[in-house]
Structure formats: structure tokens, C-alpha cells
Amino acid sequence: AQSVTQPDIHITVSEGASLELRCNYSYGATPYLFWYVQSPGQGLQLLLKYFSGDTLVQGIKGFEAEFKRSQSSFNLRKPSVHWSDAAEYFCAVAPQGGKLIFGQGTELSVKP
Amino acid sequence: DVKVTQSSRYLVKRTGEKVFLECVQDMDHENMFWYRQDPGLGLRLIYFSYDVKMKEKGDIPEGYSVSREKKERFSLILESASTNQTSMYLCASTENSPLHFGNGTRLTVT
């Protein structure tokens, strides 16, 4: 069965430090891949998506993610974290044309 | 910009009550979804609809039903609310990908 794993439930980084959030998926072919962010009390907002082509994708708010087929991963990165980035982050995959499957989420805290 | 509106941000209901959660989107999307979000479990799909009057069960449909009488509106119904349905409910819509989400309804069943 398809699945998405975000190994880190909670991460704390200092403001200005770099960030990497991990996401691994289990699926036979290359699915569509997404990262969403949820600020407290809000719905989910799309950060970026990968369908095909260049494996390094740029998103909003300075985020990027790299698709690595050999590792079945789609990790989210940001070079310098801002306090406003504190939120919960969800990785999601969709078998092409299929339903979206979400990971468990990673909560990001930012220290001043 | 796509707007997905969930009519209530917070709801408190009693066990056994019939509960309606309403969702409206303004972009003429074919596909609409209801998820529930619980700590440590991520988002789990309850029901989705790909057309008016069409519905499909998601991964956790038990205890829920849905209604899609008009394209823009997708309602989630708890026929007899139970305490284990206390959760955050998120509605989403899409034409292809990605999903566009509402701000969520936090439902507490006492």
C-alpha cells in the first residue's frame, strides 16, 4: 500500500539556521509530490509540488524540495529559517491521478 | 485565488446529535474532499466527491455521510455524533492538483 513517512514529529531550529524536513514515500512509480504548511488555526497552504522534470523545485516563502528517486524521498529545505516559519508541515503524495496521501506531519519550532 | 470556505471555525455538540459541516468553494472545481486531522495521524480522508451527487468513501468513512447537491457545496454529516469524532475537519477542492483547503472546523463532541 502507498504510504508517506515523516520521521520527525517535532523539530526545533534557531532563527537563521538552515532547515531540512524529511519525507519518504512508498509507491511503485513516481507519484505527484507536495509539501503543505499549516499555521496555527489555519487550513493547509501549498508550499510546492513536483510532477516531473527538474528534481529540485522551488516553492513559496523561500522553500525548496528535492526529489530523489533512488531514496524515494522528497525533503523540504530552507537555507535560513524565520520565526514566522514556525508551523506544521505536511508531505503528501498522490499516485498519478489518485487520491492524496498525507504524512503524519512535522511540527517546526523556531528559537529566537 | 481559490477560496474554500468552511462555515464554522468552532463547533461544540453533544453526543448523539446530528451535525452538519458545510464547505463552499468558488472556483467551479469538480472534486471536493473532507479530511479529519488528529495529532500524530496527519490528515485522513473521510469522503470525496468528483461530481454533483457523486460520492466516494475515503479511508475512514464510518460514522459519516456526505451530500453534494450543488457543485460548489460539499457537506459532511455526522448522523449521531460521538466523542471519538472530536477533531479538526478540513475541506478541500481541486480541479486537478493541488488541493486547496479551507481553514478548518474544530469540532468538540461532549
Structural domains in chain B (count): 1
Q: What is the pLDDT of residues A74-99, one digit of tens each?
A: 999 999 999 999 999 999 998 765 67
How much is the mean pLDDT over chain A?
Answer: 92
Percent of chain A with pLDDT strictly greater than 70: 96
Superfamily of domain A3-111: Immunoglobulins (2.60.40.10)
Q: What's chain A look like in SS3? A: CCEEECCCCEEEEECCCCEEECCEEECCCCCEEEEEEECCCCCEEEEEEECCCCCEEECHHHCEEEEEHHHCEEEEEECCCCHHHCEEEEEEEECCCCCCEECCCEEEEEEC
Instruction: Choose the mutation target among B1, B6, B99 for the interface with A, i.e. most A CBs under 10 Å.
Output: B99
Whose CA is closest to A79, among A95, A97, A58?
Answer: A58
User: Who wins on pLDDT, A97 or B70?
Assistant: B70
pLDDT tens digit string along A101-112? 899 999 999 999
Q: What is the pLDDT of residue A95?
A: 74
| DSSP-based three-state secondary structure for B86 | coil
| CA distance linking residue A37 with residue A6, whole number of Å | 14
Contacts 24+ apart (CB under 8 A), B37-42: B37/B87, B37/B88, B37/B89, B37/B90, B37/B104, B38/B87, B38/B88, B40/A9, B40/A104, B40/A105, B41/A104, B42/A4, B42/A6, B42/A90, B42/A102, B42/A103, B42/A104, B42/A105
Is residue B95 very low, low, confident or very high in pLDDT (cuts 50, 70, 90)?
A: confident
| Mean pLDDT value of segment B83-110 | 92
A43, B104: Cβ pair inside 8 Å? Answer: yes
**Domain membership of residue B49 as a residue range:** 4-109
What is the pLDDT at residue A96? 63
- CATH code of residue B101: 2.60.40.10
Mean pLDDT of B21-46: 93
Least confidently predicted of A28-37, B24-33, B70-79: A28-37
Amino acid at position B66, single letter: V
Q: Nearest by CB to B97, which of A32, A41, A102?
A: A32
Q: Determine whether the interchain pair B41/A104 forms a contact, defined as Cβ–Cβ distance below 8 Å.
A: yes
Q: Is the pLDDT of residue B96 over 80?
A: no
What pLDDT sits at residue B22? 96
C-alpha A1/C-alpha A9 separation (Å) is 22
Q: Do A44 and B45 touch (CB under 8 A)?
A: no
